[in-house]
Amino acid sequence: MNSVTPKVFQRASLFRLTIPGFASCVLLAAILSGCNGEKPKPLGLETSSKTTVVISLETTLHGLLPEEYEINVPRDLPTADLSEWGKSMLADMIDQDVDEKQLATSLSKYLPDETVQRVLRSQYVLRDSTHVRDMLWARELVRSAIEGSASEIDQVVDLFYFVVNTVQIVPVQSLLPFGPFETVFYGQGTEEDRAWAFACLLKQLRIPSVVLVNETPAGDDESPRVVTEQDTGQTKPGDAATDSQPRSVIVGVLLNDGLYLFDAGLGLPIPGPDDVAAAGLIRMPATLAQILADPSLLQKLSQSDTEPYSVTVDRLKNSRPLIIGDSTLWSRRMEGLQNGMAGEITASVFEPLVSQGDFIGSIELVSSHLTDLLPSATVGVWDYPEQQREARETVAGDRDQSALLAAFNDTFKVPQPITVTFPKVDPGAATPQQSPTPTIEIGASWGVHQTARIDQILGRPENAIPAYLKVQSWRELPPSPDDTAQVPPALQPLVIQHLPADMRARHLLAAEEALIWRATCQMQKKNYEGAATDLERYLRQLSTRVHPGRYRIEANYLAGISLAMAGNTRRATAFLRNVDADNSRYELARTLIRRWPPERDKTE
């Protein structure tokens, strides 16, 4: 099965560059070699200043890698470097035959004026760096996540379940306006955040996707769980924050002539006619055409005979397909950067929203494929990603949001460097006497927990697992500065006693976090039985209060999913029954339990 891969998703203007002189030949050769998947030859020293700028672009992109950006590289530095590159190279890297006035007119049919201006501006800004970082993350993860997938639809399903199992839905009030990378990194988000992250991953496979937004006026019984605006049909995540259960946010994925349906809120694909319940999780999603032909497929996601699935065929018929993206993705700046990615660091960072020059835009592409399925629907633009990108840039200037961001990053300080000072007692004296005050330095391996998490979501679980084991071992006492010799056993109780309370709490929570994430690493490696064993051990330890218990519900959910993937739906059911009714995984757990008839269960 092949994805829809029109000319728009190829590098748009590689053969229309007009770079003069020797640099033109060298740059074109580098680009062509990069397109063929080969490592380009290093550019020679006897080149023009423009070629030197091309060389520096690879350095700038290196600074935007998820393991570097905002960790070893200051947040604003790559943006300044991109701006310098743009001054010298951008005009030569974009299709100069495109009439920008005409382009602005076309964009204004779908975007507000201020968003059109963001698409057309030539100056790189901070959110551009964030966008590139997100796409570089997506590219790296996709390479790992789809390894071993049997087909293209299997690749899509694997990416969807990665997002669902990694990102837990929480009330919007407890979140910040994160983009796809940060949503996955912190493991928390809204239904919309899941949908956006899923679409971001699909872009690296050149697979288009849309959000299907119900345009039935609010109050209509056909869609009680989705709050909409009558004039735009845009979903407002904050309006459902008081409901503990997720809203259905339907993502449509275009493969060939089919629009495959995924519920990012519930966390399951809508099952197709070829779906087999005994497979554990749904592996054969339904297309919109299959649902329209057989609406009963929707009720495979019912929780019970009296609690039908909230999405109806009428809702789908009245849905409007909305393009998932933002002004940076559609910008001419990203067109130029896409064409300039001639080295080893590459990703899909650009897609035109509307047709320009000889290349088809996303609007026209999706419209042409959905005409027969949704003849009365007009394709629009989902404004959620654009709103999130703009809001993210104001976080640093807001005291409350900055404090919340610091709280999100608190456990990533582990192991925290600290010098412990305490009185030394001579145990041999008849009356304990204090000797000169000694100090012990511990916790100098800064960033281990953070690095492990980044490795994991980049698709490198084999690197993350040993680091998570270290973090678990530091539950009560951080390591020594050289990360080898431990504090002498006789001194450990005294050192622990003199650790600051906030530091002790931080290490305790990080150890619990590391245990859960280590289990999800096992799931990434498809070692489902190993993941279930780790999670069950964690749940047993909660009875002895070894851990605070913050991940009790999530551990039950993940253990159930792992056992289902291992073929043991009987034991999986036992764990999923422990998901509380006020948890966002509850509806998913109940749907899966109903999906597995007892006669098909594997015995314990």
Q: Are 567 and 283 in contact (CB under 8 A)?
A: no
Q: CA 366, CA 378: separation in Å to the nearest integer?
A: 10
Pair (408, 392) in one structural domain: no
pLDDT at 21: 33
pLDDT at 601: 45
**Full residue range of the structural domain in which residue 28 is found:** 7-396
pLDDT at 548: 77
pLDDT at 215: 66
The least confident of 60-64, 80-84, 489-493 is 489-493
pLDDT at 372: 87
Pair (490, 359) in one structural domain: no
Each residue of 276-299: b (16+ CB within 10 Å) or e? ebeebbbbbbbbbebbeeeeebbe
DSSP calls for 6-36 = -GGGS-TTGGG----HHHHHHHHHHHHHHHT
Contacts of 201 by beta carbon, 8 Å cutoff, 6+ apart: 138, 141, 142, 145, 159, 162, 163, 180
Residue 94 forms part of a structural domain: yes
* Domain limit, last residue, from 354, 381, 396: 396
Contacts of 186 by beta carbon, 8 Å cutoff, 6+ apart: 178, 408
* Domain limit, last residue, from 396, 412, 433: 396
* Domain limit, last residue, from 396, 430, 462: 396
In this model, does residue 126 exceed pLDDT 90? yes
pLDDT higher for 54 or 458? Answer: 458
Residue 269 forms part of a structural domain: yes
CB count within 10 Å of CB 7 equals: 12
In this model, does residue 110 exceed pLDDT 90? yes
Q: CA 256, CA 599: separation in Å to the nearest integer?
A: 37
CA-to-CA separations, 551 to 27, 474, 538, in angstroms, rounded: 52, 18, 9
pLDDT at 15: 25
Q: With 0-12 CB in 10 A as exposed, 13-18 as middle and 19+ as buried, what is 489?
A: exposed
Q: Are 490 and 521 in contact (CB under 8 A)?
A: no
Q: Are 455 and 464 in contact (CB under 8 A)?
A: yes
pLDDT at 43: 31
The least confident of 227-236, 262-271, 468-477, 588-597 is 227-236
Per 3-state DSSP, what percentage of the chain is helix, strand, and coil (rounded to 5)?
50, 10, 40
Tell me phi and psi for residue 463, to 5 degrees.
-85, -30
Tell me phi and psi for residue 349, to 5 degrees.
-115, -5
Pair (391, 337) in one structural domain: yes
Residue 245 forms part of a structural domain: yes
In this model, does residue 184 exceed pLDDT 80? yes
pLDDT at 385: 98
The least confident of 176-185, 260-269, 480-489 is 480-489
Pair (421, 304) in one structural domain: no
Q: Which two tokens stand for residue 262?
A: 């995924």
- Mean pLDDT over 334-363 rounds to 92
Residue 2 forms part of a structural domain: no
In this model, does residue 427 exceed pLDDT 80? no
pLDDT digits (tens, 9 = 90+) for 439-488: 777 766 668 999 999 999 999 999 999 999 999 988 888 776 666 556 77
Pair (80, 155) in one structural domain: yes
pLDDT digits (tens, 9 = 90+) for 20-29: 333 333 333 3
Pair (132, 165) in one structural domain: yes
pLDDT at 61: 95
Q: What CATH code is carried by the domain that includes residue 486?
A: 1.25.40.10
Counting residues of the chain whose pLDDT is more than 70, the rounded percentage is 80
Structure confidence at residue 243 as a pLDDT band (50, 70, 90): low
Q: Are 395 and 206 in contact (CB under 8 A)?
A: no
CB count within 10 Å of CB 419 equals: 10
Residue 198 forms part of a structural domain: yes
Mode of pairing for the β-strands spanning 418-421 and 380-381: unpaired
Q: Which two tokens stand for residue 274?
A: 């070829």
pLDDT at 476: 84
Positive or negative torsion for Cα 554, 558, 561, 567: negative
- Mean pLDDT over 351-372 rounds to 91
pLDDT digits (tens, 9 = 90+) for 271-323: 999 998 767 899 999 999 999 999 999 999 998 888 899 999 999 999 999 99
Pair (370, 405) in one structural domain: no
CA 533 to chain centre: 26
The least confident of 114-118, 169-173, 227-231, 303-307 is 227-231
Highest mean pLDDT pick, 47-61, 484-498, 546-560 = 546-560
Mean pLDDT of the chain: 83
Pair (428, 556) in one structural domain: yes
pLDDT higher for 421 or 561? Answer: 561
The least confident of 68-72, 87-91, 408-412, 595-599 is 595-599
Q: CA 558, CA 277: separation in Å to the nearest integer?
A: 19
Counting residues of the chain whose pLDDT is more than 90, the rounded percentage is 63
Closest CA to 134 of 176, 167, 179: 179
Region of 233 (left: φ > 0; alpha: ψ -120 to 50; beta: rest) is: left
> How many domains, in total, are found in the chain?
2
Half-sphere exposure for 328 (CA within 13 Å, toward CB): 24
The least confident of 90-94, 440-444, 560-564, 565-569 is 440-444
Pair (189, 297) in one structural domain: yes
Structure confidence at residue 352 as a pLDDT band (50, 70, 90): very high
pLDDT digits (tens, 9 = 90+) for 134-180: 999 999 999 999 988 889 999 999 999 999 999 999 999 899 999 99
Pair (331, 462) in one structural domain: no
Pair (392, 415) in one structural domain: no
- Mean pLDDT over 379-406 rounds to 95
Pair (144, 187) in one structural domain: yes
Q: Are 216 and 223 in contact (CB under 8 A)?
A: yes
Highest mean pLDDT pick, 70-79, 110-119, 444-453 = 110-119
Would you call 584 helix, strand, or coil by DSSP? Answer: coil
pLDDT digits (tens, 9 = 90+) for 285-297: 999 999 999 999 9
pLDDT at 238: 35
Half-sphere exposure for 58 (CA within 13 Å, toward CB): 15
CA-to-CA separations, 104 to 12, 115, 359, 387, 549, in angstroms, rounded: 18, 10, 16, 20, 54
Q: CA 161, CA 542: separation in Å to the nearest integer?
A: 27
